[in-house]
Amino acid sequence: MTAEAAAPAGRDRLGPLIITIFGLYARGEDNWLSVASVVQLMADLGVEGQAVRSSISRLKRRGVVRADRRDGAAGYALAEPTLETLAEGDARIFERRRATTEDGWLVVVFSVPESEREKRHELRTSLTQLGFGTAAPGVWVAPGNLATETRRSLARRGLAEYVDLFAGQHFAFGDLRSKVRAWWDLDELADLYADFVRRHRPILDAGITTAEQAFQTYVPMLTQWRRLPYSDPGLPLSLLPPGWNGVTAEALFEELNSRLSAPAREHALAVIRRP
């Protein structure tokens, strides 16, 4: 499951939470949640029902979800492109492998005719969402282990015909650590990781005892986390500043995911399957 890559929320602060709920729980329920269950789950997060309905309507207009009435109950299913995006994101969020320098680099160059210049913006947005840095105007770079994901993502978005992908090593010139700092905003990444740790480390000592409390904690935590593996594409630690706080944040996420995902799911399914 991705974050904003699945559906940029814009000004809709509730959209990411709703997408998290659908991504976690709808796919195992024949890709469907009733409106009533989504409203109740969001109420458990302290959100008023009318605001939830308005946010879902905006997601529908953007093609993220589609209306789907089943057995007389109003509900929504994830649209096919959203399902594909979430499936791609699951591996990066829950199974990410940090790159090493031995993985080399994936280099992307693209050429878009002026008559299709809107594709240029779409390509830049897609590469940014995949975590690419900009090595030079029109030259984008990412760790080499993202090659398969990048190829699939660009093909799925209908952008393959404009792009060439190259794999290689950096062998000259200059210090690669300095170049990585120029290609990616490492200060911003460090701030994002620090904010995640600040917000969520206290959970470890919070004494969560019920499935509902786990749900109330897990969904917002995952919603914040899911953008980070895309902002940071898993850059090699040897090229990052000493004591890189992304490692601390990753360990915290893994611990919280291990502790909270099962009881949170227990609560969510109890609501979703309620007669």
Assess contact for 236 and 183: CB atoms under 8 A: no
Tell me which of 1.10.10.10, 3.90.190.20, 1.10.10.2520, 1.10.940.10 is the CATH number of domain 1-96+185-275: 1.10.10.10
pLDDT at 6: 38
Q: Which of 9-13, 95-99, 141-145, 231-235 has the lowest mean pLDDT?
A: 9-13
DSSP letters along 86-123, please? HHHHHHHHHS-----GGG-EEEEEE---GGGHHHHHHH
Closest by CA to 126, choosing from 5, 8, 247, 17, is 5
pLDDT at 114: 84
Per-domain residue ranges of the chain: 1-96+185-275, 105-168
pLDDT category at 8 given cuts 50, 70, 90 is very low
pLDDT at 42: 97
pLDDT category at 49 given cuts 50, 70, 90 is very high
Closest by CA to 94, choosing from 237, 217, 253, is 253
pLDDT at 142: 96
Q: Which residue shows structure tokens 């090493």?
A: 100
Tokens of 176: 């690669």
pLDDT category at 19 given cuts 50, 70, 90 is very high
pLDDT category at 3 given cuts 50, 70, 90 is very low
pLDDT category at 12 given cuts 50, 70, 90 is low
Phi, psi angles (nearest 5°) of residue 143: -55, 145
Burial class from Cβ neighbours inside 10 Å (0-12, 13-18, 19+) for residue 72 reads: exposed
* Mean pLDDT within 238-263: 96
Residues 98-140 have pLDDT tens digits of: 999 999 999 999 888 888 888 888 999 999 989 999 998 889 9
The pLDDT of residue 88 is above 70: yes
CATH for the stretch 105-168: 3.30.70
* Mean pLDDT within 246-257: 96
